[in-house]
Amino acid sequence: MTRRRGEIQLPGPAGESYTYRPRREPSPAVARADGGAALASRTVFAAAHVVADPFADTHPGGPAAVDWDATLAFRRHLWACGLGVAEAMDTAQRGMGLDWPAAAELIERSAREARAAGGRLVAGVGTDQLPGGGASLAQVRGAYEEQLAVAERAGARPVLLASRALAATARGPEDYEAVYGDLLRQSAQPVVLHWLGPMFDPALAGYWGSGDLDTATETFLSIVAAHPGKVDGVKVSLLDAAREVALRRRLPDGVRCYTGDDFHYPELVEGDRHGHSDALLGVFDPLAPLAADAVRALDTGDRAAFRAALHPTVPLARHLFREPTRFYKTGVVLLAHLAGHQDHFTMVGGLQSARSLPHLARAYELADTLGLFPDPELAEARMRALLIVYGIHP
């Protein structure tokens, strides 16, 4: 087949190939990503990925090997865009390759970088240091307390992550109320409560003591209401916009709703006459320049410009987070590699193999169409190199 200059052959989902013509220039927002006014009308965090050390002699299930220089450089990029960083969250492969010792070091290192950069930082606090198998409520509480101490000592606002161990141990809502109540009473500052749905982690089904979401919501809200002044906000990742809006309207005054909905974030962040969601999103890892540009438009009251900037990103987000949703990290890391934020497409625990080549090719196409790559020619060259590894000569 004769191909024209500037074309690339990409694999489709049914084994076919198709021709794509990459962009020649990045979007204006990406070109000016390292500057701009601070965001004012919304509090926005990007849940950041980690960069693996590609030369470490490790294996899936072994200790996490992190390239600290590249990982921290990416956080500086997010702060330069104007976003806050949500550290050691699901996007950083918590429970999917990043073990607690590496997560603790990540929180401590990122906190030092945040102080130097003047950047906002929240950090995930969970129970993933517990061994597999049954754990008592006291052990779950102790694991949370250990991680809470690390985050508070580092100076990061804690995000109390949903716990697989608690989901497996709790007998009902009262156990969640007891564990979270103890943690909130002893926290030194207001925390963020995290509700991660089973589409992100099947082990979290039935969280808050019920498989019925209406019942679970009542327990969740009762915990927030019982501890005034101790909850900065709630982070909701259920991929259900209507449910999030209903929950948001019932939160006490002063408690933020940080959307974790990577499907419906534009309308949730824009909000309505009753209020809006702030954001703590994994999809803002690759979308950081566009997301910051959109929120700056919202800061000026220009809702049309906000929509024009952010709504076109939804097809990419829905592609990255398609089922099985928990493997979205693979596409996120690919885009970081193609954008030049890291020199390789390697992930902690070997998770780069979790998505198919057609899926990755489509992610490249959608991101390039948005102008997400600062150097489109570099992105094209790296995509070609990946195709060659799979036996395709584009």
What does the pLDDT look like over 145-161, one tens digit per residue? 999 999 999 999 999 99
C-alpha dihedral over 96, 102, 104, 107, to 10 degrees?
-90
Instruction: Report, in angstroms and rounded to the nearest whole number, the Rg of the chain calculated over CA atoms.
Output: 21
Closest to 122 (Cα-Cα) out of 234, 219, 38, 27: 234
Place of tokens 């020619």: 377
Six-digit token string for 264: 């419906």
Beta bridge partners of 94: 98
Between CA 38 and CA 7 the distance in angstroms is 38
Closest to 92 (Cα-Cα) out of 117, 75, 79, 76: 75
* Residue count (the chain): 394
Closest to 203 (Cα-Cα) out of 372, 104, 90: 90
Between CA 285 and CA 90 the distance in angstroms is 12
Instruction: Report the SS3 class of residue 229.
Output: coil
User: pLDDT over 90 for what percent of the chain?
Assistant: 93
* φ, ψ (nearest 5 deg) of residue 45: -120, 140
Across the chain, which distance is largest between two alpha carbons, in Å?
68
- Is the pTM value of this prediction over 0.75? yes
Whether 187 and 152 have beta carbons less than 8 Å apart is answered as: yes
Six-digit token string for 61: 């299930």
Through-space distance between the first and last CA atoms of the chain, rounded to whole angstroms? 10
pLDDT for res 5: 60
Closest to 200 (Cα-Cα) out of 128, 282, 131: 282
- Sequence letter at residue 279: A
Q: pLDDT digits over 20-78, tens only?
A: 999 999 999 999 866 678 899 999 999 999 999 999 998 888 899 999 999 999 999 99
Reading the chain (394 residues) residue by residue, the pLDDT tens digits are 445 568 999 999 988 999 999 999 999 999 986 667 889 999 999 999 999 999 999 888 889 999 999 999 999 999 999 999 999 999 999 999 999 999 999 999 999 999 999 999 999 999 999 987 789 999 999 999 999 999 999 999 999 999 999 999 999 999 999 999 999 999 999 999 999 999 999 999 999 999 999 999 999 999 999 999 999 999 999 999 999 999 999 999 999 999 999 999 999 999 999 999 999 999 999 999 999 999 999 999 999 999 999 999 999 999 999 999 999 999 999 999 999 999 999 999 999 999 999 999 999 999 999 999 999 999 999 999 999 999 988 6
Q: How distant is the alpha carbon of residue 43 from its chain centre?
A: 15
Between CA 321 and CA 310 the distance in angstroms is 16
Q: Which domains does the chain have, with CATH numbers?
A: 40-325 (3.20.20.70)
pLDDT for res 321: 97
Whether 66 and 52 have beta carbons less than 8 Å apart is answered as: yes
Six-digit token string for 70: 């590249």
Between CA 385 and CA 32 the distance in angstroms is 27
